[in-house]
Amino acid sequence: MYRNNQKRQCLICFNDTNKYPSLYHLLYQPTLCLKCLNQFAIYNCHHYYHGYPLVILYHYNDFFKKILFQYKGQGDYALKDAFLNSFPDLKRKYHKYMIAVIPSSKQDDIKRGFNPNEMIARSFNDNIFTGLFKINDYKQTKQTDRSLVNKIIKIKDGKQLYNQNVLIFDDVITSGNTIMTCAKIIESYQPRSITLLVMASNHLNELFK
């Protein structure tokens, strides 16, 4: 367990975060040691996806996959602070935005005890919109027709989005159907702007061909 004292444990390997000293650790005091931090493959590229600004932070490598599964699949809540160490500027960059988190299934959230996207988003902004929801336990990876997602995701309290700069946040983008469905739903409530922020993808060639 991480404790805020002089000897700080890495959230992933539990070694001292200062075991491998660096200027970065001195300035930002991240929650990961340098060895674990360097296993995240930074991409950090800006695109336009169907007309929306899109930022993808990482390549979806084996390390990211493992840590994301431990966080979401095994309910390791402490790992909410493990993913964005390399991007301390997110708080400054998006402080005037309302963050709309891509929903997970209600059943999964109850089982793990938290909404994974929401908890990560709260590490850089407390202005969170959680009105997007799934009407059943839909998982893209188990669906033959991924376009069915537009029948699964709904919204409540959408009026909160009016005239807001909205940042739609998700952990992984694959086909892009989920995030685009959410963008179209949000757009109907006349926000000032819509930007997309995704932590990782391993489908870059398919997304931007």
Q: What is the pLDDT of residue 8?
A: 85
Domain boundaries, the chain: 1-38, 40-207
Report how far Cα 71 is from the mean position of its chain's Cα atoms. Answer: 12
Residues 70, 130: Cα–Cα separation, whole Å: 23
Bridge pairing between strands 42-49 and 52-59: antiparallel
Report pTM. 0.88
Q: What is the pLDDT of residue 139?
A: 56
pLDDT digits (tens, 9 = 90+) for 52-63: 999 999 999 999
Question: Right CATH number for 40-207 from 3.40.630, 2.60.40, 3.40.50, 3.20.20?
Answer: 3.40.50
Banded pLDDT at 209 (limits 50, 70, 90): low
pLDDT digits (tens, 9 = 90+) for 138-167: 554 454 455 677 788 999 999 999 999 999
